A and B are shown apart, each in its own frame.
Chain A
């Protein structure tokens, strides 16, 4: 037996956590769209209920020894049935709490941030939809349920990224996010079709324990295809460029999207199917390569971006790359721990950025610095705390999780991954503090000016309270690393501590500090010109700034290949061949009709004569008979 049934109370708690946001979404969209205050209250209340349920579940099952699962059949057809249910194990419990708490905090923050927006009610409705989708995904016991909510997560991020629909760029970014993740989802769909049709099971526990009928080659194929979905959702190479564009959405949305939900869903799925992925070395190697590549590429992009939100977006891709590297190296607990700490500090970074952007109405870090953003002390302190965590400095949470990741990488077969990881640590620290130093030490500062406007659109106390809570989490979370690992590791993989581990544990913080020092020399100290080393070499800077020309490739695929290539070809086929055939047929009919008509007219007299003759004959017969 792979699992125990879920106790009744836990089942109710789990269902409540998942369904209440849906109810809130429905209620808001149908009844309260025009009543912003009520809508917000309902949505926040729903998030609070979910959070309470999630925490209760975690507390109840802190000492669980076997996964709990229960499901009901939602739809049956022939031999195939779709079950919806609940799977409770350390991973889903941890993820549930992360999602619920970040969703709650972000919604509370949004109360102030979005105040006065015309779509206030709609915004909170979509937020609830997002929470529902995420809870359904996290609790899913089988791949179909994962896939359903996976798509819903994509839908809600489409709606939220394009929330300001009057902005053309925002709707375009939403569309791009949807399409690119959808491209990954297609691979995922193929993958789970293989699992279902040839493997015969979609149950996560069965897949993880190897109880499926796939040969090793098909296991690899399915794992690679499922990983395709993860690449789309978690914005890994090459499906990564939607994420920086998604910054068009409201900042709290970015915070939610980047910390605990949308992009985390990909890594979550990889952790969820960790047992299955480990059955294929090739899939794990591919995941490792993709994670490493994404981590390094996005770090280089972050080094040259001037947009504060985009820097955090690139850093998200990069950190997700770290998580995938850790998982691919067999560091199950390390990957999830990094996911947890990252959720906290990335939400913090975005929400701080939101406060700054709100006050100064610009995303450009140089302008923010000039406008005197550093005078907003509380926000700057919180943001620096988040940045220290991102860079991996003791005692912030990022330090501990990054050490765990490095430990896992040290256990990998190939040393290349560890060195790439260490290079990533240096780059992370460098680009993070580039941003901090540029804002803190502007070259020229406008006196008064926009800084004075600060009072009018300032963040309220509740927003600061949220920032404070997240900062405390960022400071404290690291010290629970051991307890977290013991909890999560019950049935997961086990990272071997290789002989390189001690080297990695020393090198990683040293490199992080080195990155900060390098950033100080280029951007912080008075002698510096605030131009990064990448930007000094023109072509390299351009390459980084244009995202390694990935967008050009996509533009070519959709514009040239699809639009003006295949689609135009099909349209011409429709107009020329199908319509042409039709014209030919109708033309033929008309032609033969004309011919017959001409023949008719030509023979009119003989025919009339024949007709009269027949009639005459008939009358004659009638008379005679």
Chain B
């Protein structure tokens, strides 16, 4: 892996901005709600600006790890503060920046324990940012846990329906995940015999045996997979989404689930390619079960947030399917899907949050006709739903397209199933849209006002991102490509492609019966 040292520590600057924002929020006097909000907004805007800058400034010709910064932390144990981004991490930083900023602005109307909320929220984002840029196993784990723990408080204090259960379930699930990841990390570091936790160093120098890779990969796959909503470890996510307040749901479904997938990618797939290869059929099957299952369970839900939660399970299944193909197209599509789903689901929760704030219900049966009184809010909801269906011109289309193409090369039967489920997915999304936004307006909601211009900003930013990358997918793929091509090439030509032979013989036989 090529490493390009940074001229200026941009990555640490992002962390520093968040840390300063956190400190400022903490020292502000207790009742200065407006000040807290403005500080958080400024902090998130700065982080977003820097993320956009990094996304643009990443040198796509050179590839490799860029903006690398390094500081020995505990030299005796080989732990170093090592940050860097590649074509996988840069889109994730951009995603985090966008969701952070829009999340803060979406919570502008919060008036209960404002200071504590924003402090925890920034802490959470700090962990997420750190996780995406860290290249040291030890720090990856630390940031991972930093991003999990504030979640419990955020849900328990500011959450809605059934929040204690949701928060508890979520925390326990995720901690169970980290209980698998930590042994995995220690195991890898120990068997390498190199006394280092640095991912590039391990990648360069360590040679893990097949057994070691298979064991470690399984630990990472389940550990991070819980966070990524892999079936059957997904059930924390819909419950958690429902219980969480708007911005937390946005961050949670938008970014935290991506941390899981990113962990599988960064640690599992980089360090244990043989394990990846060994377990990939299992990954593919679980992913397709998730795709089908999420849609099917979602079809029967009546709570808007449950609906979106289960659709997230389905969409994250597409990420898993992309990873399981072990091809450039599949990984490209999966990473783009992580980005696209993050933005889309953030927009979804943001729109639902707005609707919930006004109507105090998320029961689909009670809503209806909201387009008439809240055209802007409903439009954003509809855009998110269309992105969820995978309409061309919106970002997720390109991701799904590539994943399905790659999957069809490797697992034709599974690809056929998941493409088939797209119809049900469309049915499911459009039904929700029809029952909430369209139809006759119930007199209960006739008094509602549409969102103010300021409240429209976060939704507009998210919708613009969906459309922008939907029209110009090459901006994203050129970047992801710089990381996925070396990763797949390093695997060698060992991957077998399922050819069309079986299907073909079957069809020929069928044809011969035909007169």
Return chain A residues, CB-CB under 8 Å to B481. Answer: 76-78
Contact A152–B392 (Cβ < 8 Å): yes
Interface residues of B in 440-489 (CB under 8 A from A): 440-441, 473-474, 477-478, 480-481, 484-485, 488
Contact B235–A579 (Cβ < 8 Å): yes
Contact A217–B439 (Cβ < 8 Å): no
Tell me whether chain B's interface is mostly helix, strand or loop, or mixed: helix
Q: Which of B300, B386, B434, B477 meets A76, CB within 8 Å? A: B477
Q: Which of A151, A175, A197, A586 meets B392, CB within 8 Å? A: A151
Contact B296–A566 (Cβ < 8 Å): yes
Expressed in whole angstroms, the minimum distance between the Cβ of A287 and any Cβ of chain B is 16
Which of A80, A172, A194 has most B Cβ within 10 Å? A80
Interface residues of B in 105-134 (CB under 8 A from A): none
Contact indicator per residue, chain B 287-316, by CB within 8 Å of chain A (1) or not (0): 000000100110111000000000000000
A220 within 8 A of B: yes
Given known pairs A165-B437, A217-B508, the reply for A563 and B328 (CB within 8 Å) is no
Beta-carbon nearest neighbor of B428 in chain A: A567
A459 within 8 A of B: no
Given known pairs A78-B332, A567-B297, the reply for A220 and B398 (CB within 8 Å) is no
Expressed in whole angstroms, the minimum distance between the Cβ of B230 and any Cβ of chain A is 13
Contact indicator per residue, chain B 313-331, by CB within 8 Å of chain A (1) or not (0): 0000000000000011100
Contact B404–A178 (Cβ < 8 Å): no
Contact indicator per residue, chain B 261-303, by CB within 8 Å of chain A (1) or not (0): 0000000000000000000000000000000010011011100
Expressed in whole angstroms, the minimum distance between the Cβ of B339 and any Cβ of chain A is 14
A282 to B510, CA, bound (A): 12
Expressed in whole angstroms, the minimum distance between the Cβ of A200 and any Cβ of chain B is 11
A562 to B295, CA, bound (A): 11
Return chain B residues, CB-CB under 8 Å to A586. Answer: 172
Contact A193–B408 (Cβ < 8 Å): yes
Contact B504–A186 (Cβ < 8 Å): no
A80 to B481, CA, bound (A): 12
B182 within 8 A of A: no
A168 to B431, CA, bound (A): 12
Expressed in whole angstroms, the minimum distance between the Cβ of A111 and any Cβ of chain B is 23
Expressed in whole angstroms, the minimum distance between the Cβ of A275 and any Cβ of chain B is 21
A375 to B393, CA, bound (A): 47
A612 within 8 A of B: no
A171 to B432, CA, bound (A): 12
Interface residues on A, range: 35 or more
A77 to B481, CA, bound (A): 7
Interface residues of A in 182-229 (CB under 8 A from B): 182-183, 186, 189-190, 193-194, 196-198, 215, 217-218, 220-221
Q: Which of B300, B301, B437, B474 meets A75, CB within 8 Å? A: B474
Expressed in whole angstroms, the minimum distance between the Cβ of A7 and any Cβ of chain B is 26
Expressed in whole angstroms, the minimum distance between the Cβ of B360 and any Cβ of chain A is 23
Contact B440–A77 (Cβ < 8 Å): no
Binds A, one of B54-62, B243-251, B419-427: B419-427
B372 within 8 A of A: yes
Expressed in whole angstroms, the minimum distance between the Cβ of B497 and any Cβ of chain A is 9
A73 to B472, CA, bound (A): 11
Expressed in whole angstroms, the minimum distance between the Cβ of A189 and any Cβ of chain B is 5
A563 to B398, CA, bound (A): 29
Contact B434–A193 (Cβ < 8 Å): no
Contact indicator per residue, chain A 152-167, by CB within 8 Å of chain B (1) or not (0): 1001001000100111
Contact B391–A152 (Cβ < 8 Å): yes
Return chain A residues, CB-CB under 8 Å to B507. Answer: 217-218, 220-221
Q: How many A-B residue pairs have CB under 8 A?
A: 150
Contact A567–B438 (Cβ < 8 Å): no
B254 within 8 A of A: no
Interface residues of B in 398-430 (CB under 8 A from A): 398, 402, 404-405, 408-409, 412, 415-416, 419-420, 422-424, 426-427, 430
Contact indicator per residue, chain A 35-78, by CB within 8 Å of chain B (1) or not (0): 00000000000000000000000000000000000000111111
B514 within 8 A of A: yes
A415 within 8 A of B: no
Interface residues of A in 76-130 (CB under 8 A from B): 76-80
A158 to B420, CA, bound (A): 20
Binds B, one of A262-270, A383-391, A570-578: A570-578
Contact A574–B235 (Cβ < 8 Å): yes
Return chain B residues, CB-CB under 8 Å to A166. Answer: 369, 372, 438-441
A149 within 8 A of B: yes
A568 within 8 A of B: yes
Return chain B residues, CB-CB under 8 Å to A571. Answer: 296-297, 300-301
Contact B500–A563 (Cβ < 8 Å): no
Contact A77–B391 (Cβ < 8 Å): no
Q: Which of A152, A162, A183, A221 meets B393, CB within 8 Å? A: A152
Beta-carbon nearest neighbor of B425 in chain A: A182
Contact B328–A155 (Cβ < 8 Å): no
A420 to B299, CA, bound (A): 42
Q: Number of B interface residues, CB 8 Å?
A: 62
Q: Which of A78, A171, A179, A215 meets B426, CB within 8 Å? A: A179
A220 to B506, CA, bound (A): 13
Beta-carbon nearest neighbor of B299 in chain A: A567
Given known pairs A166-B369, A197-B405, the reply for A190 and B431 (CB within 8 Å) is no
Contact indicator per residue, chain B 347-372, by CB within 8 Å of chain A (1) or not (0): 00000000000000000000001011
A337 to B12, CA, bound (A): 66
Return chain A residues, CB-CB under 8 Å to B392. Answer: 147-149, 151-152, 155
Return chain B residues, CB-CB under 8 Å to A444. Answer: none
Expressed in whole angstroms, the minimum distance between the Cβ of A84 and any Cβ of chain B is 11
Given known pairs A179-B426, A197-B409, the reply for A563 and B235 (CB within 8 Å) is no
A582 within 8 A of B: yes
Given known pairs A218-B504, A218-B507, A563-B300, the reply for A179 and B427 (CB within 8 Å) is yes
Beta-carbon nearest neighbor of A578 in chain B: B235
A198 to B507, CA, bound (A): 14
B333 within 8 A of A: yes
Contact A183–B332 (Cβ < 8 Å): no
Beta-carbon nearest neighbor of B372 in chain A: A166
Which of A148, A155, A167, A574 has most B Cβ within 10 Å? A574
A217 to B397, CA, bound (A): 30
Return chain A residues, CB-CB under 8 Å to B299. Answer: 562-563, 567
Contact A567–B300 (Cβ < 8 Å): yes
B183 within 8 A of A: no
Q: Which of B327, B369, B427 meets A558, CB within 8 Å? A: B427
Q: Which of B405, B430, B431, B508 meets A80, CB within 8 Å? A: B405
Given known pairs A152-B393, A165-B437, A179-B427, the reply for A570 and B297 (CB within 8 Å) is yes
Expressed in whole angstroms, the minimum distance between the Cβ of A242 and any Cβ of chain B is 13
A196 to B440, CA, bound (A): 45
Q: Which of A151, A190, A566 meets B419, CB within 8 Å? A: A190
Return chain B residues, CB-CB under 8 Å to A194. Answer: 500
Contact B430–A198 (Cβ < 8 Å): no
Contact B235–A582 (Cβ < 8 Å): yes
Beta-carbon nearest neighbor of A171 in chain B: B438
Spell out B's residues near A (CB within 8 Å): 169, 172, 232, 235, 293, 296-297, 299-301, 327-329, 332-333, 369, 371-372, 386, 391-393, 397-398, 402, 404-405, 408-409, 412, 415-416, 419-420, 422-424, 426-427, 430-431, 434, 437-441, 473-474, 477-478, 480-481, 484-485, 488, 500, 504, 507-508, 511, 514
Across chains A and B, which 3 residue pairs bring their CB atoms closest together, nearest first? A78-B328, A570-B296, A171-B438
Q: What would 14 A/B residue contacts be, using CB atoms closer than 8 Å?
A: A75-B474, A77-B333, A78-B328, A78-B485, A80-B405, A152-B391, A165-B369, A165-B437, A165-B439, A179-B423, A179-B430, A189-B422, A197-B405, A218-B507
What would 13 more interface pairs be, CB under 8 Å, given A76-B477, A567-B300? A74-B474, A80-B405, A162-B434, A171-B434, A186-B419, A186-B422, A189-B419, A198-B500, A215-B508, A217-B508, A562-B299, A570-B297, A578-B235
Spell out A's residues near B (CB within 8 Å): 73-80, 147-149, 151-152, 155, 158, 162, 165-168, 171-172, 175, 178-179, 182-183, 186, 189-190, 193-194, 196-198, 215, 217-218, 220-221, 282, 558, 562-563, 566-571, 574, 578-579, 582, 586
